[in-house]
A and B are shown apart, each in its own frame.
Chain A
Amino acid sequence: MEEQRRNSIQFILDLMKDTRKGDLSYVYKGEFSQNISHQILSLAEKNIDRYGMPSKVKKRVFHIMVESIQNITRHQEAPEDAPEATAIFGIQKRGHWYYVTTGNIIEKTKVPDLEGKLLKVNSLDQDELTQFYREILSDGKISTKGGAGLGLIEMARKSGNKLHYDFRDVNKELAFFYLHSFISTAKDEGATMPSDENKNYISTFNYILDVHKFVNKENILLVYSSVLDQNSLLSLIQILDSQVRGELAFKKKIISNMVELLQNIIHHGVIKKENIDGSQAVFYISAIGNQIHLNTINYIDNTNIPEVEERLKLVNTLNQTELEELYNKKLFDFTADTKGGLGFIEMRIKSKFPIQYDFILDDEKYSFFLLKIVMERK
């Protein structure tokens, strides 16, 4: 149990370290309703905007994301009782490349047909793909589920690269289908990946497999690991709002706590990479029994640890009445406008559980600051 906990923490710390290189990773697992799909795209789009890429590249990445998500919504066949069968979407930026990965459940009987389409698409060069695309369109053989493989052709065309894929067994009848595509941030249309980037391409795919394992193990609904700012917060709120089921009061508590947690990081988080407008952070939500856990990791300046720890210790020792009193006192203390200090108290009042936290030394200047807020349905 202890070892498992340590592995999980190590995994999250690795995610956090990746944000330092200006890389991004964002993984969503769950139902892909129209609103959620829209918000996922918008969140990814805001992130892409930050890197100031040519609009041509942005459009290409966006197009592939849209096709990928449509691919999931078309083939959502997840049985209710198999959470490991829930679809997953991930986008990563590593250096000059974007990687878009989807995973969804598929009936094993459909695997040969799908693999046939993928093999066909991967056997064609760009001109042949365009030709093939036209043929299918004029053939009029598009089923209601878009099964002609137009989406796959489009993804191969827009990315300029072969599609990487894999099937993993879920049970006797079902398999999990992973589709991984990558897009150059270079301006020229459909840059092909040079061979030395190839290991990156394989590693990003393995990475998603690792994330997926982790996500299933911890029953995570969403992992966001990137630069955090007010805009990304607003998209995350929307996603969570559509994703978490339950009564209004509970949902509101979760959203309020999430806003406090993340705004705390936006205001006080340390930025370890230059030229980035926002704080690096990992945020993930897990559903465990009738509890929802909100987790964040960000960097903290080592010299600030004692003060933050003292505040956390204090709110954790107080009972509800004492917490209310402290809240009231701080609420009307207008001298400390910039240092509100209300956040932790409010989270503690809304959660009813102690705030779990940890500081893990990274180097002589900074540490990782881990926070977990637990909330329980009545």
Chain B
Amino acid sequence: MEKFILKKTEETPAVILNPGKNVFQIVATSWPENALKFYAPILEWFANYFKAPNNMTVVEFRLDYFNTSSSKQIAKILSLLKEQSEKHAIKIRWFYDPEDTDMKNAGVRYAQMLNFEFEFKERLAY
């Protein structure tokens, strides 16, 4: 499976999906004008990847900000991961700044809604 890498910009997160190194991360800020368009290839990549995934896939969300339209696309990604977790070993790690309770709560919300156990981790500023 080809890796999928996007550099972070002022409005979109860094995306590192690298099965070779077993690294799967979405990092920084996500407030694109068109979140649907930004996340579509990421969703497609994951759908393909789970045809032949690694033994263990740990997906890390290390976000500072996301807008509501991104939150919906993240919900889609997490729904896909939850679905695949029934067949494959998948872990979600949700990072948040200890001072940023909203970001932690956002993760708790996803975990509850999907009935999906996340690993929550405090982190320092990037």
Chain A positions near chain B (C-beta within 8 angstroms): 230, 234, 247-249, 252-253, 255-256, 259-260, 263, 266-267, 324, 327-328, 331-332, 334, 337-338, 340, 342-343, 346, 350
Contact = CB atoms under 8 A, between A and B. Distances in A.
Q: Is chain B's binding surface mostly helix, strand, loop or mixed?
A: helix
Given A234-B10, A332-B113, A340-B72, A259 B97 contact: no
A249 B69 contact: no
B67 interface: yes
Contact of B72 (A249, A253, A256, A334): A334
Given A252-B65, A259-B65, A259-B67, A342 B72 contact: yes
A230 B76 contact: no
A252 B100 contact: yes
Contacts of A327: 109
B71 interface: yes
A248 B99 contact: yes
B113 A331 contact: yes
B79 A263 contact: no
Contacts of A263: 31, 33, 67, 69
A247 B101 CA distance: 12
A260 B113 contact: no
Given A234-B11, A259-B31, A328 B109 contact: yes
How many chain B residues sit at the interface, stated as a range, is 20 to 34
Interface of B: 10-11, 31-33, 36, 65, 67-69, 71-72, 75-76, 79, 97, 99-103, 109, 113
A260 B99 CA distance: 21
A333 to B, nearest CB: 8
Nearest to B31: A259
Given A259-B31, A337-B36, A342 B100 contact: no
B100 A248 contact: yes
Contacts of A328: 109, 113
